[in-house]
Amino acid sequence: MAELSLAKVIINISHESVDRPFTYIIPESLKERVNLGSAVSVPFGAGNTLKKGYVVELTDHTDVAPEKLKEIADVPDKDISLSDKRIALAAWMKRNYGSTMIAALKTVIPVKEKVKESVKKTVVRKKTPEEIEAYITGNKRNAAQLRLLNALLDEERIPKSILDDKLHILASTYKKLEELGFIDIEEERIVRGAVSMNVAHDSHMKLSPAQQTIVDEVRDDFDKNIHKTYLIHGITGSGKTEVYMQIIDDVIGRGRQAIVLIPEISLTYQTLMRFYKRFGDRVCVMNSTLSKGEKYDIYRQAIEGEVDIVIGPRSALFTPFNNLGVIIIDEEHEGTYKSETMPKYHARETAIELARMNNASVILGSATPSIDSYYRAKIGEYKLFTLTERLTGNQLPNVIVSDLRKELREGNRSILSRDLQELIEDRLNKNEQIMLFLNRRGMAGFVSCRACGFVVKCPHCDVSLSLHRNGKLVCHYCGYTTDNYKNCPQCGSKYILGFKAGTEQVEEIVQKMYPKARTLRMDADTTKKKESYEEILSRFLDHEADILIGTQMIVKGHDFKNVTLMGVLAADMSLFAADYRAPEKTFDLLTQAAGRAGRGDKPGDVVIQTYQPDHYAISFSVDQDYEGFYEEEIGYRDLMDYPPAAHMLSVLVTGADEKACEALAANLAMGVREHFKTLVIGPAPASVSKINDVYRQVFYLKHKSYDALVEIKDFLEAALSTRKQFKESVFFDFDPQNGY
Ligand code: ADP
Ligand code: ZN
Ligand code: ZN
């Protein structure tokens, strides 16, 4: 019998029952076009309906009877193929995070379809810098116009998308300046090899000795074909980005490519323009607002070698470069690097695996490294570098701590401390701007005493208990339940309450206290539409408001030169979320918030309001003492066997039927207990115990060995595959970033 050409194909259906490869014959006519990773169309099921799938293996051997084999129908042109490395990466993700193979494949190829070519818009300066200067200085101009004109003084051509996204320029401003003859908007269809911007023209800076050491060491390792993960711990302004760029420059000089991950919200106009100026049209930016077609275009350019550098959020990791040389992850501590859908992969770990497969290096950078990464650096898994000097000359802000217990004791029941009130008045008088930051995380109700700061915690898990509507306090890790207190067990005060104030209430109160001040609010409610997010930022930059009140969104990334006061209204709120990472997140947020004030030439003040000024996450952030915080935190993780001291797997079981959901969770947990003779924490209702009438039960496992947890996950997947009705209702999360 003639040798068969066969392909094993994963079919594009996300059901466990078909999540295994099916074997197909490659017909003679398609031999040239079917490769490992090709997207193919195949007849499937009794009706031979055509389904899409991916080739995950090529072989000449099968146990299936030849007469039962069907042929691949087509290799549709419009689908991008996967390379074998991509398949290997998907398999790695499936194994290490738990998901179907098709979900993992879809993650590594987020772009599946070619959409019509997109239009690239470039804003071009049409008057001389002198004319612009004259226009600017002649009159008091609208601030959005000023932002745009100032940017054009530095750069004659700027991609419109950068101005939209990063300088928050609205259509009306473009229109006005077009009418006045200052700008033109060029539209150009993206064609292969088209130059999108001026060529690179920014030359290297002379690095500081500390910066140079990093660049040299990474380069020397590269020369020796040693590829490590390097962690740069350096405060904002210490020159990390400059280091990244010089390393990238070296790597692309070797004919290799670079992926740069930066949380979208932290990628400022200045940083983006630095990359453009340095690398010109060799760099591409990916963001969540890109259309499928635009993303496709970036992928195509990467495959065809037309770009060497892609900057973007988590998913930019999957840019299909042919010869990847380095992956840079800035702000590596950010929670957004963890995917919230299955497979729940962490971009850092996945980057390290991808780099290993490609013989590439990984550079992590942060002012407040994740405890996980710092730990790995300390035990020698990563190579640690520290940058301590600020190269910008901007001063660190002055941090004031307001003890809210003391405020209450001295008769101030306002949500604003007296220090903060005084400073707000001062800034309003000086016509400077103010941000008030309310961390909404943990709103779902930790309970604390306003008089002494006592927080009700679980006796078994050392996380705070959450107040439920039925008045009970519940631990979301183990299910421990107790009655709420009427009086504080520590001091007897009756002011023991769940913290309830949201941004809306804060805005009302602020408006009453400062009737002349103009306020803006930015939170999930006011930013539902993308334009409103841009609009709020734009209006605040234009100084249409004096006080911006908001959630996390306001502390990241934006450069507000006129903001000289940042008030953190309730630092404790994020501290006692039912989540072991709460102190780490609080430390990061407070450090970041402090960095928001005084970005221009004016020095800034930061007021941190708290019931717990002595809590280590607060006191170390006030002192900007990362090392101190790390030592304290790792001691606690060690004691509790939380990551990175050990690994953790959370298993979320969901279902519309409450009893069935509980029973399944209990059953799975029991199965693990019996089979592995190991401790299972829970199951218990998740902190959000029901979403859209779907019940949520969660249980946890901890183990020193990650692989031991993978085995447990495999065991659970196998158990689930026999229970058809529950196929898609169980979710795995390794080393979870958030509590459930
Ligand atoms: P980070 O990424 O750590 O915030 P940057 O690389 O953005 O730091 O550097 C902060 C500022 O210092 C930038 O304006 C940058 O241009 C400047 N800078 C960086 N390295 C040097 C250097 N070696 N000499 C002079 N200025 C530098
Ligand atoms: Zn008390
Ligand atoms: Zn507990």
Q: Where are the domains of the chain?
A: 6-108, 118-190, 209-387, 398-443+499-636, 647-734
Which ligand is closest to the CA of 238, given by its number?
Answer: 1
Encode 710-723: b = buried (16+ Cβ within 10 Å), e = exposed.
bebbeebbebbeee
268 CA → ligand 1 middle, Å = 14
Q: Of all helices (H) and strands (E), which one includes residue 288?
A: none
**Omega before 683 cis (within 30°)?**
yes
CA-closest residue to ligand 1 atom 9: 239
| 38 alpha-carbon distance from chain centroid | 30
Q: Are 400 and 607 in contact (CB under 8 A)?
A: yes
578 CA → ligand 3 middle, Å = 9
Distance CA 298, CA 285 (A): 8
Sheet containing 730-734, strands listed edge to edge, beginning at the edge strand earlier in sequence: 680-691, 694-703, 647-655, 730-734
Output the DSSP codes for 289-344.
T--HHHHHHHHHHHHTTS-SEEEESGGGGG---SSEEEEEEETTT-GGGB-SSSS-
Please give the number of the atom of ligand 1 that sits closest to the Cα of 391.
Answer: 12
Distance CA 71, CA 578 (A): 54
In this prediction, residue 480 carries a pLDDT of: 84
Domain at 6-108: CATH code: 3.40.1440.60
464 CA → ligand 3 middle, Å = 8
492 CA → ligand 2 middle, Å = 6
Q: Quote the pTM value.
A: 0.83
Which residue from 392, 592, 601 has its CB within 8 A of the most atoms of ligand 1, so it is best to mutate? 392
572 CA → ligand 2 middle, Å = 15
Instruction: Pinpoint the alpha helices (H) of 403-543.
Output: 404-409, 418-429, 503-513, 530-541
Instruction: Pinpoint the alpha helices (H) of 388-484.
Output: 404-409, 418-429
738 CA → ligand 2 middle, Å = 28
| Fold (topology level) of 209-387 | Rossmann fold (3.40.50)
CB atoms within 10 A of CB 414: 12
Torsion-angle region of residue 288: left (phi > 0), alpha (psi -120 to 50) or beta?
Answer: alpha
CB atoms within 10 A of CB 130: 8
Q: Are 125 and 94 in contact (CB under 8 A)?
A: no
313 CA → ligand 1 middle, Å = 22
Domain at 647-734: CATH code: 3.30.70.600
6-108 and 398-443+499-636 have identical folds: no
Cross-strand partners of 398 = 605
Nearest to 272 by CA among 177, 197, 209, 207: 197
Distance CA 52, CA 38 (A): 10
Distance CA 427, CA 543 (A): 13
Which ligand is closest to the CA of 455, given by its number?
Answer: 2
Which residue from 277, 368, 391, 392 has its CB within 8 A of the most atoms of ligand 1, so it is best to mutate? 391
CB atoms within 10 A of CB 65: 7
Read off φ and ψ for residue 73, nearest 5 degrees. Answer: -85, -40
What average pLDDT values come out for the chain (740 residues) when binned by 10 residues?
77 66 91 83 88 84 84 80 79 90 80 59 89 79 82 86 82 90 81 43 80 97 96 91 96 96 84 87 82 75 89 91 96 93 94 95 96 97 93 76 91 90 96 86 63 81 72 77 87 77 80 94 71 77 90 72 89 75 90 72 85 91 92 94 94 90 94 94 84 85 95 91 68 88
In this prediction, residue 261 carries a pLDDT of: 97
Which residue from 232, 238, 241, 330 has its CB within 8 A of the most atoms of ligand 1, so it is best to mutate? 241
Ligand 1: residues within 6 Å at CB?
Answer: 205-208, 211, 234, 236-242, 391-392
Pick the CATH number of 398-443+499-636 from 3.40.50.2300, 1.10.3720.10, 3.40.50.300, 3.40.50.850: 3.40.50.300
In this prediction, residue 192 carries a pLDDT of: 37
Distance CA 458, CA 75 (A): 57
